[in-house]
Homo-oligomer: A and B are copies of this chain.
Amino acid sequence: MELVSDWASHGGRQLVCRHASEAAGGEMTFAVFLPPGAEEGPKPILWYLSGLTCTHANVMEKGEYRRAAAEAGVIVICPDTSPRGDAADDPAYDLGQGAGFYFDATQAPWAGRYNMKTYVTEELPALVAAEFPADMDRQGIFGHSMGGHGALTLALGLPGRFRSVSAFAPIVAPSLVPWGEKALSAYLGPDRAAWRRHDAVAMIEDGGRVDEILVDQGEADSFLDRELRPELLERACAEAGIPLTLRRHPGYDHSYYFISTFMGDHVNFHAERLRR
C-alpha cells in the first residue's frame, strides 16, 4: 500500500492510499480519515460508498465528515466506485468506470474486474485491518445514491457484518429504475432473479433484515421519482418490521450541499451504535 497524501485535519489525519487490487484487477485508490487518538487503540470504522461519477475524492473534499468523525472517534473509509485505468468502460456516466454498483459482474466485458462487492467487503477490509488501527468488530456503512444502494444491499447481504446502516438519497430498488436496470443488465445479464440479491427492496421482501435504517432524502432531488423511489423502501420496511427513519427535506437536491448538511447526523447515528 502506498500513501499518496497525508493531511492534518480536524485533529486527525486525512489520508489517500493506493494499492494493487486483485478484485479490481489494477490499482485502486481510497481515502481514510483517522480521528485524533487513533494510534492509541482500535477505533470503529465507518464505510462511505459514493455515487455515480465519483471517486474517493468527492466526499473527501465536499462531504464535511471530519469534524463529526473526529469528535466521535470514528475512522471513515471512502473507496472508489469502480475499477480504473485500463478496466472496461462505457461512454455513459452511469455504466463502467465510476459506476461499479457494489456487486460482482458476471458478464463480459465487466466480469473479472468489476468486483466491487468483493473489493469493498473482502479485499479492502483485509487491507484496512492490516494497515490501520481499525476495530473490525465495530463497522458501520453508509453512502449516497448508488453508494446508498451499496450500503443497504451490503448490510442486508452480510448479516452481522455492519452494526449500523444509513444512506443519503439511495437507489433503493435498482431492478425497477433506469439506472439500476441498465447496470444490472450489463453486469449480471438478463436474468432478473439474479438481480434480486442486489436490490435492497427485493432483499427485504426476500427476508433480508437489518436492525434499523436511517435515510435522508431531498424533495427537490431531480432523481427522486425516476431513480430513487424511497416510498418502495418505506413500504418494504413497514411490511418487514424494519424500523426506517426516512427524513424528507423540502428544497434539498442530490448534491453534496445536501449531503454535507446531514452528514453530522449520520456520523453521529453510526457512532452511537458503534460505541455499544
User: Which residues of A come within 8 Å of B, CB atoms?
Assistant: 7-11, 14, 61-62, 64, 66-67, 218, 220, 249, 251-253, 255-258, 260-261, 264
What 3 A-B pairs come out closest when comparing CB atoms?
Answer: A7-B257, A9-B257, A8-B251
Integer count of this chain's copies in the complex: 2
Q: Tell me, in angstroms, the Cα distance from A47 to B14 when the chains sit together.
A: 28
Contacting residues, chain B, for A61 (C-beta < 8 A): 61-62, 256
Given the complex, which residues of B lie within 8 Å of A66, measured CB to CB? 257, 260-261
Residue of B10, B11, B253 touching A7 (CB-CB under 8 A): B253
A90 vs B10: C-alpha distance when bound (angstroms)? 36
Q: Give the docked Cα–Cα distance between A10 and B249 (Å).
A: 11
A111 to chain B, nearest CB (A): 36
User: Whole-angstrom distance between the alpha carbons of A220 and B67 in the complex?
Assistant: 20
| A9, A10, A255, A258: residue with the most chain B Cβ atoms closer than 10 Å | A9
Which of B14, B220, B261 is in CB contact (< 8 Å) with A11? B261
Q: Which residues of chain B are within 8 angstroms of A261 by Cβ–Cβ distance?
A: 8-11, 66
Q: How far is the CB of A250 from chain B (nearest CB, A)?
A: 8
CA–CA, A258 and B260, complex, Å: 18
- Measured CB to CB, the nearest residue on chain B to A61 is B62
Chain B residues with CB under 8 A of A62: 61-62
Closest CB of chain B to A84's CB: distance in Å?
A: 23
A sample of 11 inter-chain contacts (CB < 8 A) reads A7-B257, A7-B258, A8-B253, A9-B252, A9-B261, A11-B261, A61-B61, A64-B64, A64-B67, A64-B260, A66-B260
Bound-state Cα–Cα, A11 to B261, Å: 8
Nearest B residue (CB) for A255: B7
CA distance A253 to B62 in the complex (A): 18
Q: What residues of chain B lie closer than 8 Å to A9, measured between beta carbons?
A: 252, 257-258, 260-261
> Within 8 Å CB of A264, what residues of B?
67
Write out the residue numbers on chain B whose beta carbons fall within 8 Å of the beta carbon of A10: 260-261
Minimal Cβ-Cβ distance residue in B for A251: B8
The answer to whether B249 and A8 have CB atoms under 8 Å apart is yes
